[in-house]
């Protein structure tokens, strides 16, 4: 009984996944793009990019256009300086060396109800 219900649930999941993918493919064929719409679009992006190249800060642009700084960064992403270029070698970080901690040694005892050579057969 449980196996039958599990098989029916799996069939339902597969059907739903297939229908979802069909819908996404149909929307893509129509030219629709999935995802959230950008906060800045069209002419505003051109204005923001020109202002950024003119020396205005990202925070000031965000205040002026009433959007987040992330939205401004997205609009000017290709104009932002890269942190590390591919040609620059990056040195490996030095790791701190620690002295090992001394732990007290625990004495392991054999259980009293086991035969003498059970844990250590050669003894």
**Within-domain flag for 22:** yes
Phi, psi of 47, deg, nearest 5: -65, -45
Q: What is the percentage of the chain residues whose pLDDT exceeds 70?
A: 66
**What total number of domains does the chain contain?**
2
Which has the higher per-residue pLDDT, 5 or 95? 5
Please name the residues in contact with 58: beta carbons below 8 A apart, sequence gap of 6 or more: 52, 69, 72, 73, 76
Please name the residues in contact with 69: beta carbons below 8 A apart, sequence gap of 6 or more: 58, 59, 62
Instruction: Note the pTM of the prediction, 2 decimals.
Output: 0.46
Domain of residue 54: give its range.
36-80
Please name the residues in contact with 116: beta carbons below 8 A apart, sequence gap of 6 or more: 123
Shared domain for 28 and 52, answered yes or no, is no
Mean pLDDT of 46-55: 92
**Within-domain flag for 105:** no
Shared domain for 62 and 41, answered yes or no, is yes
Shared domain for 28 and 55, answered yes or no, is no
């Amino acid at each position: 009984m449980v196996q039958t219900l599990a098989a029916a649930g799996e069939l339902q999941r597969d059907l739903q996944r297939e229908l979802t993918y069909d819908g996404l493919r149909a929307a893509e064929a129509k030219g629709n793009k999935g995802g959230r719409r950008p906060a800045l679009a069209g002419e505003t992006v051109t204005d923001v990019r020109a202002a950024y190249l003119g020396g205005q800060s990202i925070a000031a642009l965000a205040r002026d256009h009433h959007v987040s700084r992330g939205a401004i960064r997205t609009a000017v992403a290709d104009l932002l300086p890269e942190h590390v270029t591919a040609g620059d070698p990056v040195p490996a970080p030095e790791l701190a060396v620690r002295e090992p901690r001394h732990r007290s040694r625990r004495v392991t005892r054999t259980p009293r109800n086991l035969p003498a050579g059970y844990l250590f057969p050669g003894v």
